[in-house]
Amino acid sequence: MAFAEYPVQSLMYITNRPELVFTEGKGSWLTDHNGKRYLDFVQGWAVNCLGHSSQVMIDALTAQAGKLLNPSPAFYNEPMLRLARQLTDHSCFDKVFFANSGAEANEGAIKLARKWGRKHKGGAYEIITMDHSFHGRTLATMSASGKAGWDTLFAPQVPGFPKADLNDLASVEKLITDKTVAIMLEPVQGEGGVIPATREFMQGLRKLADQHKLLFIVDEVQTGCGRCGTLFAYELSGVEPDIMTLGKGIGGGVPLAALLCKAEVASFEAGDQGGTYNGNPLMTAVGSAVIGELTKPGFLQGVQEKAAYLSEQLLALSAEFGLGGERGEGLLRALVLNKDIGPQLVEEAREMQPEGLLLNAPRPSLLRFMPALNVTREEIDQMIGMLRTLLKKLA
C-alpha cells in the first residue's frame, strides 16, 4: 500500500513522523510498508530488550491470552504474583505495585513518598530532582523532570520539585529543608543525553538521605532490566535505594511498568493507589517471561560483553572521524559528535538503501544507541559500518 493511502490525518498530531508505516519486526530488524528493512538501534526507545517479537514473549502472550485476561485489579492473579516474586527475589526491594507506563510508575513513586512524608516526616512533600532529568509526561512527572521549557509548558506546574545538578552533591544538600521528603534521579540520564550519575554521587546521595531521613528514589524506567549490564543500574554503585521504578524493558515491548519499595516504605492504605489495568495477567505474564530470560545464567554477562564491544567500536569511530568519544553504561550508550549533526545523521541513516538504520539523537550533538540486549556482534558491526559510510559522506 502506498503511504498516501494510509489515513494518517485521523491521528492527533503530537510529533513529526517520517512517511513510513512499520508492518513487521523481528529481533534487531523492522520492515516498513514498502518491504524495506531497518536495523533498529532504538528498539522503541530502549523498550524491546529481547528485540522485536521475541518467541519467549509470543509464547507467554498467546498462552496467557487463552487463559485469563483481566479478573480485575482487586483480585490476585498468578502472573502478577509470579512477577512480583521474581522482582523482589532479584532486587533489594520487598514490595511491588504494577503500572502501565513509566510515567504512571513515577507518579506512584511520588505519591508513595508524599504518603510516607505525611505519616513519618511531619507532612514533608518536596522531592529534589535533577536538572535535565526526564520522568514522564503526566503533569506531576513533567514537573519532576528538569527538561528545558517544561516549567512553563502546561503551567501551573505541580509544586514540590526543586532541581539540583547531577553529580554535584552540594547542589542537592543546599536544597534540603524540613519540607524535603525524597531525592529522585535516573542512574543514567537517558533523554538528557546518556549522562551517568557517578558512583560517588550515588553513594553521597544515600548518605545524605540517611542523615536527613529522606527517601532515595531511582527512576530505572530506562536503565533497569538489564539495560546497563546489571539487572538494575543501582547495583553498579553499591547502594540500596528505598524506591525504584521500572518501565520499558520490563515488558519487553508491551505496556507494563512497576513501582518497587522497601517494606518499611510501603505506606499506601486501601484506596490510595490502583488502576483498572494494574497488574493484569496478560502483561505481567509477558513481564515474567522477560525477567525469566534476563535472569538466565549468562544473559547479563552477554550484555556486558556486547556493551564492551559496542563501546570499543564507537571509540574507534570517534578516533577515525575526530569526534568527542563515547559514554554510557551497558547497552545504553552515546557517541559524542561535537557538532550538531545528530538529527541529520538520524534522517540519513533511516533513508539509506537498500537497508535503513534507526538511530536516535536525544541532543543535536549526540547519537544514542539502545539496541536489543540480545543484539549480535554482527549486527553491531553492520551498524558501525553504516554509520561510517554516513560520517564519511558528511566529512
Of the candidates 41, 98, 134, 369, which one interacts with ligand PLP according to CB under 6 A? 134
In the complex, what is the shortest distance from the CB of residue 217 to ligand PLP, in angstroms, rounded to a whole number? Answer: 11
Of the candidates 95, 135, 333, 363, which one interacts with ligand PLP according to CB under 6 A? 135
Element containing residue 34 per DSSP (H, E): none
Of the candidates 126, 219, 326, 379, which one interacts with ligand PLP according to CB under 6 A? 219
* 222: contact with ligand PLP by CB under 6 A: yes
* DSSP result, 303-349: HHHHHHHHHHHHHHHHHHHT---EEEETTEEEEE-SSS-HHHHHHHH
List the interface residues with ligand PLP, window 42-101 (CB under 6 A): 45, 101
Element containing residue 265 per DSSP (H, E): none
29/45 with CB nearer ligand PLP:
45
* 356: contact with ligand PLP by CB under 6 A: no
Strand arrangement of the beta sheet that strand 326-329 belongs to: 326-329, 332-336, 366-369, 360-363
In the complex, what is the shortest distance from the CB of residue 98 to ligand PLP, in angstroms, rounded to a whole number? Answer: 13
Residue 248's closest CA among 144, 380, 104?
104
220/379 with CB nearer ligand PLP:
220
Specify which residues 333 forms β-bridges with.
328, 369
**Cis peptide bond N-terminal to 196, omega within 30:** no
130/390 with CB nearer ligand PLP:
130
Q: Would you tell me the crossing angle of helices 55-65 and 281-294 to the nearest 10 degrees?
A: 150
Site string for ligand PLP, 169-208 (x = CB under 6 A): -----------------x---xx-----------------
Site string for ligand PLP, 10-49 (x = CB under 6 A): -----------------------------------x----
List the interface residues with ligand PLP, window 275-314 (CB under 6 A): none
Q: What angle do CA 48, 201, 310 make, to 5 degrees?
A: 35
Element containing residue 172 per DSSP (H, E): helix 169-173
Q: Which residues bind ligand PLP (CB under 6 A)?
A: 45, 101-103, 106, 134-136, 186, 190-191, 219, 221-222, 247
